[in-house]
Copies of this chain bind each other. A is one copy, B any other.
């Protein structure tokens, strides 16, 4: 396995937004959560929750019974990618434990008894794997995981049997979308046994030009091989994005500037912005920042806005009365305008890159 040893290219910065690995585990002798009744789910929870909470990684972290969390708080966790949309729908008998830095989250009684994930900004699949693997090893010492020497870890859904691992990277691919190359790339990636999904996982739209690439198979392959292959493909896609940016700058600068200019113009002056429009336009600002078009605006400012303008994040801290969609759209526009409109307009005379190895930063 040579692939796993490669260092991520520095150009992928800002393109690979986050890296994530999750492991699915179950406890021997208990039915899977989907087949369990409430008393059984509670018994599993009683068995595993203290062990998870006692992990050294979880020191200073937070533990939530899903029935004790308000709908809004659940939604905030979904927007942070700390729990799944499915888990947000769970109630009595389910829980989540999250470490202090919000890089490690263990869902209890989601589809499996345990779904643990590590997530971090940037292109760092091995690092997040190491983090979740360490927690997994500790838990395995204390809990009787359902394991078959022939199949590997047993899971509620056959697609997770084996490693129980789903590794993924979230990529920001605005130039590939503008150049209309994504369907070609998605089909090529699918042929390599990897899945391409939208911002919130399976069946969701690629809002903000964000695409999640993950392994499909969990059986018959070692974790390191899966990670190595994913890493290679993600590097390859990131290189395509870099090339697409260079090509747009060289061949269609006006079209590119038009998208960035319009995004700036609308975000800096609109008074009503939907969540979807906000994400798609912030994506263009992010691209503009990466291309050096914005003097004062930093990529972090855009990332923060992206998160803070999600519906639940917007609602949070606005008192108890639930905001209407119109109120959120107004609040979102005001928030974005106060950040994007504060800076200077983009300087859209970006020179096309020269040489064979274009850099965008």
- Using a CB–CB cutoff of 8 Å, the interface residues on chain A facing chain B are 254-255, 257-258, 261-262, 264-272, 330, 333, 341, 345-346, 348
Contact = CB atoms under 8 A, between A and B. Distances in A.
How many chain copies does the complex carry? Answer: 2
Contact of A270 (B258, B272, B330, B341): B258
A71 to B, nearest CB: 27
Contacts of A268: 265, 345
A352 B271 CA distance: 17
Given A254-B330, A330-B254, A271 B266 contact: no
Contact of A269 (B262, B330, B333): B262
Nearest to A330: B254
Given A271-B348, A348-B271, A262 B266 contact: yes
- Decide if the interface of chain A is mainly helix, strand, loop or mixed: helix
A262 B272 CA distance: 9
A265 B345 CA distance: 10
A352 to B, nearest CB: 15
A137 B296 CA distance: 68
Contacts of A272: 254-255, 258
Given A265-B270, A269-B345, 5 more contacts: A255-B272, A262-B266, A265-B266, A268-B345, A341-B345
A348 B341 CA distance: 14
Contacts of A266: 262, 265-266
A261 B270 contact: yes
A179 to B, nearest CB: 16
A330 B255 CA distance: 9
A281 to B, nearest CB: 10
A36 to B, nearest CB: 49
A258 B346 CA distance: 21
A6 B346 CA distance: 52
Contacts of A261: 269-271
A141 B252 CA distance: 63
